[in-house]
Amino acid sequence: MSRDRKLILNSLEKTKEIASEIADKITSISKDSAKIIFLKGDLGAGKTTLVKEILKFYGLSEPVTSPTFTIIEPYLIKNKKIYHIDLYRIENRKELEVLGIDEYSNESDSIIFIEWPERGEGFFKDCDLEIQLNHLSENSREVIIKNFSN
Amino acid sequence: MLVLGIETSCDETGIALYDGKQNKIIFECLYSQANKHSLYGGVVPELAARDHVNKFLPLLKKGFKDSGLSLKAIDAIAYTKGPGLRGPLMVGASFAKSLGFALNKPVIAVHHMEAHLLMAKYDAPNLSYPFLTLLVSGGHTILAKVDKSGSYKILGQTIDDAVGEAFDKTAKMLGLKYPGGPEIEKRSIQGKCMDYNFPRPIINSDDYNFSFSGLKTAVLYKVNSLKKKEKLSEELISNVCYEFQNAAIDCLLHKTKKALKDFHLNQVVLSGGVAANKELRRRFSEELGIGYSSIYPDFSHCTDNGAMIAFTGFEKFNLSKEDNRIFVNPRWSLEEIANG
């Protein structure tokens, strides 16, 4: 069973606040393999922006650029491996096998953020956290956080 | 001297043969949906995107067959060592190293971005150092100063989305086909100025960085509000394309002008997929100002290709020769070419 939490984001300050809350939540997950975070939501909903703020909270100083074209953007923050993956341009599961993406999820003590996880349905093991972002208006978003970890 | 170039950093599988002595590309092949029938003859296998393994041999065979040369005639093999996706890079590296081992020929590691910007030297032989370079593609938007071959200083880059991604996502919102860049360019020709007031994010910031995420979101809300009022006509789509393209080019042009002035440079080399955009080329040619010039690679060399790897491999021949170990560098910085 997941525990849902629903909030409204209407400013960068609020986004930073939620990002820090999510960052803490991820840290508290205890697991041998990679911690997997799904990010769902339409184009422009703010998925990459949220990942950017979470990584800033972990101490990243370099810019977080969109992985839409590069598919995987890896980061190393204080010896912790973080992978920011975007499946937007992925058309089928076979592609994920060709890319060797499963190698990343077997790494322990790493964190994997996956945007558009729907495009790789069934490929990834269950996620620990699912973040859904919905458009409300130009400057506000609804965010639903589902926690699947124990 | 013949150098075989192999490119597999992301989507494209590209192979080319370059003759350094004559400064001439003997052949270049790129796998695409369009040429797969000619590559495979009758039975075309269902290949996943980025399945470079199964695309290599037909490309290689076609290239050598068309040119009438033998594989044994090559003197060296150049491959993309990074940056890019680990899996696809490994495929290219393994292929290059195996071929080098089998033919007993040296293997040269090439930096993907360096290859993009050096390729302008092939297409525009009069280019002289130093120069500014603007690399604009789906995955990158980088402004760098080139002092000489191998010596690069990144002045600025995108802090969120690359400009090519903004083109593609705008096209997607308008229901245009993929890849969206050429579609936006085509539609813009019929478009007109509508005062949509699309933002030019961080255009006045005191650095050389870019940001396109906010422009993408502004287009999204404009499209949604237009849709509420009326059906998205061809005319409206063209107008949105026109306004978006103008905003994106304004950002690229403004920061390029600032860098040229601040670093006392008078020429800029554009490369990457977006550098194929004719309106971008027109505006850079007309608006940089007197005393400044813009240089472009051939249209066929803007997107990822094997020719730029072969050409750069020749340029680097005396600098970089590798042993038989296979390794890649997915996050190789342009500023650390020597330490790759």
Query: Which pLDDT belongs to residue B305?
Result: 97
Q: B101 or B318, which is more confident?
A: B101
The pair of three-digit structure tokens given for residue B174, joined into one six-digit string:
């308008």
Q: Minimal CA–CA distance to A72: which of A63, A80, A62, A83?
A: A83
> What residues of chain A lie within 8 A of the CB of B197, using their CB?
none
Ordered by where they begin, the domains of chain A are: 3-147 (3.40.50.300)
Q: Determine whether the interchain pair B50/A74 forms a contact, defined as Cβ–Cβ distance below 8 Å.
A: no
- Contact residues, chain B, for A101 at CB < 8 Å: 87
As a whole number of angstroms, the distance between CA B140 and CA A70 comes to 9
For residue A150, the model assigns a pLDDT of 64
Measured in angstroms, the CA of A92 and the nearest CA of chain B are apart by: 8
Task: Give chain B positions within 8 Å (CB) of A89.
Answer: 49
Per-residue pLDDT reduced to its tens digit, A88-112: 999 888 888 888 777 888 888 899 9
Tell me the per-residue pLDDT of B101-112, one tens digit each, with 9 for 90 and over: 999 999 999 999
Percentage with pLDDT > 70 across chain B: 99
Contact check, Cβ <8 Å, B162/A69: yes
Residue type, B120: A
pLDDT of residue A94: 81
Six token digits for residue B24? 């001439």
For chain A, which residues score pLDDT lower than 50?
Answer: none
Q: Do A69 and B87 touch (CB under 8 A)?
A: no
A69–B330: do the CB atoms touch at under 8 Å? no
Query: Nearest by CB to B49, which of A66, A91, A100?
Result: A91
Distance from the Cα of A146 to chain B's closest Cα (Å) equals 25
Displacement of CA B20 from its chain's centroid (Å): 22
Question: For residue B320, what pLDDT band results from cuts at 50, 70 and 90?
Answer: low
Question: Of A44, A69, A91, which has the smallest distance from its Cβ to B139's Cβ?
Answer: A69
**B298 min Cα distance to partner chain A (Å):** 23
* pLDDT confidence band for B324 (50 / 70 / 90): confident
> Does A65 sit within 8 Å of B138, measured CB to CB?
no
Cα A94 from Cα B49, distance rounded (Å): 9
ipTM of the complex: 0.91
- To the nearest whole Å, the CA of A2 is away from the closest chain B CA by 31
**Residue B33 and residue B12: Cα distance in Å, rounded?**
11
Residue B88 touches partner A, C-beta closer than 8 Å: yes
Closest CA to B144 of B282, B250, B256: B256
Report the C-alpha gap between B164 and B245 in whole angstroms. Answer: 11
Instruction: Tell me chain B's radius of gyration from C-alpha atoms.
Output: 21
* A contact set with B (CB within 8 A): 43-44, 48-49, 52, 63-66, 68-72, 74, 89-92, 94-95, 97-101, 138
* Mean pLDDT score, B207-213: 98
Q: SS3 for A3?
A: strand
- Residue among A69, A90, A94 whose CB faces B165 most closely: A69
CA angle B322, B129, B9 (to 5 degrees): 40
Q: How many CB atoms lie within 10 A of CB B225?
A: 10
Contacts of A90 (CB under 8 A, 6+ apart): A71, A96, A116, A119, A120, B49
Contact residues, chain B, for A123 at CB < 8 Å: none
Q: Do the Cβ atoms of B87 and A65 come within 8 Å? A: no
Q: What is the rounded distance in angstroms from the CA atom of residue A132 to the CA atom of residue B226?
A: 26
Check B87 against A100: CB less than 8 A apart: yes
